[in-house]
Amino acid sequence: PPVIRREDYLAPAWLVPQVSLDFRLGAEATHIVSRLSVTRNPAGNGTATLRLNGDQIAPLAVRVDGREANDWRLDGADLLVELTGEAHEIEIETSVNPAANSQLMGLYASNGMLCTQCEAEGFRRITFFPDRPDVLSTYSVRMSGDKAQFPILLANGNCTASGEGEDGTHWAEWHDPWPKPSYLFALVAGDLVANHATFTTMGGRKVDLNIWVRPGDENRTQHAMESLIASMKWDEETFGREYDLDLFNIVAVSDFNMGAMENKGLNVFSTRYVLADPETATDGDYDAVEGVIGHEYFHNWSGNRVTCRDWFQLSLKEGFTVLRDQLFSAAMGSEAVKRIEDVRVLRIAQFPEDSGPLAHPIRPDSFQEISNFYTATVYNKGAEVIRMMRTMAGPERFRRGTDLYFERHDGEAATCEDFVKAIEDGAGLDLGQFRLWYSQAGTPQVTATLSHEGTTATLALTQTVPATPGQSEKQPMPIPLRVALYDRDAGEHRGEQLVVLDKAADSFTFEGFAKPPVLSINRGFSAPVAIDFPRVDADLVFLAAHDDDPFARYEAMQGLVVQHLVAAVSGRLDDATRAEGRAAIGAAYAAVLAHPALDDLMRGELMILPAETYLAEQLAISDPGAIHAEREALKAWLGTELASELRALHDRALAVAYSRDAAARGARKIKTQALVLIAAGDPAEGARRAFAQYQAADNMTDRQGALMVLASLDAPEREQALADFHRRYAGNALVIDKWFSLQAGALGPRVLEQVKALAGHPDFTMTNPNRVRALYMAAAGNPRAFHAANGEGYRMIGDLIRRLDPINPQTAARFVPALGRWRRIEPVRAAMMREELERIAAMPSLSRDVREQVTKSLG
């Protein structure tokens, strides 16, 4: 497959100021007439050939200026039309089969309704078009279809007319006044009901808000609606951004490749980010709904009003919008806990990407299939990079930068460089060297040493950016580190400072310390780097107890455990040092369990042990079996050592009644975390308590938490609870997804067998990406299952990729990175992982999506 390069960007030769689309809807055959007014782009290369992209569609008719045209040909899947003048009207007819569209790109059927997904290159599966984000058009859409089958007809913008047709049909016309790229086009037709509300913007515009769901689901949309209203208000207050249409529609669909999509005025969501009530959604689900509703809404400015010039600039909208949704969620709940959660995601999902064969800069230089670049790097590291600018500028100056960005580029298709320049000018920062964060891949490794002489403490820092595919040489980048030095006796620091390490090595001095201070570094995770600062357990225990930055406190706890487990799996612990390490961790845990000043949400966060993938990241080559065994052993030790404290905590939490306030959510969080440790220490007691929690539960958080613990235990209560859960929620797809995930993510020796059995369960289907992910992402992310010593886990994921690729290549490709980690795994498993990749590569026909990921992973 051809490689597309950022440096080859050419402005479009032809522009399409206006589009009008006419859809005659049918589940098996939808007929589309597309009328494009095209004009020669003065900034283009002047070619007379109009290139219209297509993908698995055929032109049924091509007319130019009202006449049947002969002067067209196909170039691969694209349609080329030769034009003679400066402006023309092009009319094209196509037909598609939505019911047969299992890729879920373009126009497809989901549960009897029709909907679209066009980002990145789905519009070309509907009609021929210059399907690139720098071609902006105003869209008028007409659709007609059977009224009983499709009672609700929606598209972008405002509904301008509607009426009845013949033979039980009806029609609607929609117009979107804002020019947009084709990837933001959307259409939905189906049997839907709305939760309706209104919002009045700061400028006095009254906006109708609708959340459309299938009949019966409407009473689970209130949280989504509240989140939407909160998002609209927050964006006005925090970024000065006001909504720009009289109508905002959200539609929930059951079959969706991603979480949601920010189509102009008509967001389409996977049901799991819309529907929530206490009986079926966990606190985590509630947070996810709020975050994704916010994210898609914020795209209206960061993505839609200012869009991307080309797909290499994806982080322009995604990195910025993730930062915006993170700040929003932090403002709605606990800032500290949100930061910890975001960093955990970065470390589990992005760090491994950055150190593996698929590493790429947040602004990639090349790709074969853009769908493969909707990554944790582009999204989450992209957000971290912009967050660093904000940290260096401070929130007020950063806001001046974003104001300038929106003002300068409103209505344009912009680049990452445009964004950096606007922040530079608006915030008054010099971001010259900082631009390296856009071009260099790899997680910078920072080493820190602290020395002390007289009353001076000296912090010496070095940085290296590791080599990544295609980038062997790296330059030092500016790394903003928030640091504080603690006076050991006073238990306080002397004020936080921001040091920016912008050389390969540098040192910073701090005066006035009679004794060696304790260093708190990268507070708030001010830079997305790995810090190597070996230290004695006592200092980490000190920071875990005293640091006034909650993130740093969490970091100290994690550091204590990471240091211990890494030493353990590296065979560096004898009995005495193991006991010492455990004692320090046990003491820190005991302090966390008892600490009166901690709220329970934070306490629950501090109780979570570092993930196995994050532990593996600390080692050049890791043995997943050893990591798993050591981590489980520590869990069991903690559960035993702190048994009475944990039981007391569990009892205390059980007594708190359900509510959505922070105290009750905190209680639910520690309830399940306590249960996890209790079960590790005493499985029988764990099973008893988990089953009781399961049975008494009046909400999904408690029920799922208990079931998660039970699913990992070899106890009779396990089967009983799993069967009850399935019975209780039969027909509720989102909850049945949980039922699959909990089992596939469980501990215990028989997980693989269970996953195989579940794949044959009547509720399992390969055509629904949610269900596929529920079972197989959970299995691929379960080290015990995926890294089974006999290679069966690899075989299972390999088989899945081969079977899923012809159905849904985008989703299939998402499973490849797990196998792609082979270089960092011990040789016996590595060989089996590689073998699996080779088996995929040997398939006679493979999608571009999977082909790219597999080739790079083997490369």
Q: Which stretch binds Zn ion (CB under 5 A): 313-321, 517-525, 652-660, 759-767?
A: 313-321
How many whole angstroms separate alpha carbon 262 and alpha carbon 293? Answer: 9
786 vs 774: CA distance, rounded Å: 15
> Is the Cβ of residue 109 or residue 314 nearer to Zn ion in the bound state?
314
Catalytic pick among 173, 296, 555, 630 = 296
- Distance between CA atoms of residues 781 and 777, nearest Å: 6
CB nearer ligand B3K, residue 318 or residue 547: 318
In angstroms, give the least distance from the CB of 49 to ligand B3K.
28
**Number of CB atoms found within 10 A of residue 15's CB:** 21
**Residues 724-783 interacting with ligand B3K (rule: CB under 6 A):** none
Report the alpha-carbon distance of residue 307 to residue 17 in Å, rounded.
16
The SS3 assignment for 38 reads strand
Residue 309's Cβ-side half-sphere holds a number of Cα atoms within 13 Å equal to 17
The nearest distance, CB 307 to ligand B3K, in angstroms, is 11
Residue with Cβ nearer ligand B3K (299 or 339): 299
Dmax over CA atoms of the chain, in Å, equals: 93
Q: Which is nearer to Zn ion, 321 or 704 (CB)?
A: 321
Q: Least distance to ligand B3K from the beta carbon of 256, Å?
A: 10
Q: Is residue 681 a contact partner of residue 643, using CB atoms and an 8 Å limit?
A: yes
CB nearer ligand B3K, residue 584 or residue 801: 801
Looking at beta carbons only, is 261 or 646 nearer to ligand B3K?
261
Given ligand B3K, Zn ion, none, residue 343, with its beta carbon under 5 to 8 Å by kind, binds none
Site string for ligand B3K, 248-287 (x = CB under 6 A): ----------x-xxx-------------------------
The least distance separating ligand B3K from the CB of residue 178, rounded to whole angstroms, comes to 17
**CB closest to ligand B3K, residue no:** 119
Among 307, 99, 273, smallest CA distance to 184 is for 307
Nearest distance in Å: CB 391, ligand B3K: 23
Residues 6 or more apart whose Cβ sits within 8 Å of residue 693: 654, 671, 675, 702, 703, 705, 706
Tokens in use for 201?
């913007």
From the list 99-107, 161-169, 317-325, 614-622, the region that binds Zn ion by CB under 5 A is 317-325
Interaction mask 809-848, Zn ion, x per CB under 5 A: ----------------------------------------
Binding mask of the shown chain, residues 339 to 378, with x at each position contacting ligand B3K by CB under 6 A: --------------------------------x--x----
Q: Minimal distance in Å, beta carbon 56 to ligand B3K?
A: 17
Count the Cβ atoms, other than its own, within 10 Å of residue 148.
10
Contact present, 21 and 171 (Cβ < 8 Å): no
Amino acid at residue number 237 = E
Which x/- pattern, by CB under 5 A, does the window 105-144 give for Zn ion?
----------------------------------------
DSSP 8-state code for residue 129: B
473 is an active site residue? no
Q: Contacts with ligand B3K: how many residues (CB under 6 A)?
A: 12
From ligand B3K, Zn ion, none, which one binds at residue 120 (CB under 5 to 8 Å depending on kind)? ligand B3K
Q: Where are the beta strands (DSSP E) in 347-478?
A: 366-367, 413-414, 445-453, 456-464
d(CA 321, CA 299): 6
Instruction: Report in angstroms how near the CB of residue 241 gets to Zn ion at its nearest.
Output: 15
Q: Which residue stretch of 152-160, 320-328, 400-408, 645-653 sits at the interface with Zn ion (rule: CB under 5 A)?
A: 320-328
190 three-state secondary structure: strand
Give dist(CA 567, CA 571) in Å, integer. 6
Shortest distance (Å) from residue 765 CB to ligand B3K: 21
CB of 257 to Zn ion, least distance (A): 13
Q: Measured from the CB of residue 816, what is the shortest distance to ligand B3K in angstroms?
A: 15
**Would you say 300 or 334 has its CB closer to ligand B3K?**
300
Specify the stretch interacting with Zn ion by CB under 5 A; choose among 161-169, 310-318, 362-370, 801-809: 310-318
Contacts of 625 (CB under 8 A, 6+ apart): 787, 789
Write the interaction track for ligand B3K spanning residues 68-107; mark x where CB under 6 A is met and - where it is not: ----------------------------------------
Dihedral pair phi/psi, residue 621, rounded to 5° = -130, 130
Half-sphere exposure of 819 (CA within 13 A, CB side): 35
Select the binding partner of residue 371 from ligand B3K, Zn ion, none (C-beta < 5 to 8 A, by kind). Answer: ligand B3K
Q: Phi/psi at 235 (nearest 5 deg)?
A: -70, -30
Q: How far apart are CA 4 and CA 2, in angstroms?
A: 6
Backbone angles phi, psi at 501, to 5 degrees: -85, 110
Task: Kindly write out the interface string for residues 118-157 of this chain, putting x where it contacts ligand B3K by CB under 6 A and - elsewhere.
Answer: -xx-------------------------------------
Q: Does 605 bind ligand B3K (CB under 6 A)?
A: no
Q: CB under 5 to 8 A by kind: which of Zn ion, ligand B3K, none does 325 bind?
A: none
Neighbours of 228 (CB within 10 A): 26
Number of H helices, E strands in the chain: 31, 32
Give the chain's length: 859
Smallest gap, in angstroms, from Cβ of residue 457 to Zn ion?
A: 43
Size of the site for Zn ion (CB under 5 A): 2
CB of 371: closest distance to ligand B3K in angstroms?
A: 5
Which residue number, 119 or 547, has a Cβ lying nearer to ligand B3K? 119
Q: Which is nearer to ligand B3K, 377 or 463 (CB)?
A: 377
Q: Which does 700 bind (CB under 5 to 8 A by kind): Zn ion, ligand B3K, none?
A: none
| Residues 316 and 364: beta-carbon distance below 8 Å | no
Quick one: three-class SS letters along 582-618?
HHHHHHHHHHHHHCCCCCHHHHHHHHCCCCHHHHHHC
Please identify, using beta-carbon distances, which residue of 262 and 287 lies nearer to ligand B3K. 262
Write each residue from 291 to 330 as x if it is in contact with ligand B3K (CB under 6 A), else as -, in one continuous string: ----xx--x------------------x------------
Smaller CB separation from Zn ion, 300 or 321: 321
Residues 198, 134: contact at Cβ < 8 Å? no
258 binds, among Zn ion, ligand B3K, none (CB under 5 to 8 A by kind): ligand B3K
Q: Could you check whether the bond before residue 789 is cis, i.e. omega within 30 degrees of 0?
A: no
Identify each DSSP E strand in 224-338 by its residue range: 247-253, 260-261, 266-270, 307-308
Pair of tokens at residue 559: 């550091």
Closer of 261 and 423 to ligand B3K (Cβ): 261
Contact pattern from residue 186 through residue 215 relative to Zn ion, giving x for each residue in contact according to CB under 5 A and a dash for the rest: ------------------------------
Using CA atoms, how far apart are residues 813 and 561, in angstroms rounded to an integer? 34
Span of 315-323, 518-526, 528-536, 710-718 interacting with Zn ion by CB under 5 A = 315-323
| Beta carbons of 63 and 69 less than 8 angstroms apart | yes
Residues 6+ apart with CB under 8 A from 652: 667
What is the 3-class SS of 656-691, one letter each residue?
Answer: CCCCCCHHHHHHHHHHHHHHHHHHHHCHHHHHHHHH
Active site positions, annotated: 296
Q: Which parts of this chain interact with Zn ion (CB under 5 A)?
A: 318, 321
Q: Which parts of this chain interact with ligand B3K (CB under 6 A)?
A: 119-120, 258, 260-262, 295-296, 299, 318, 371, 374
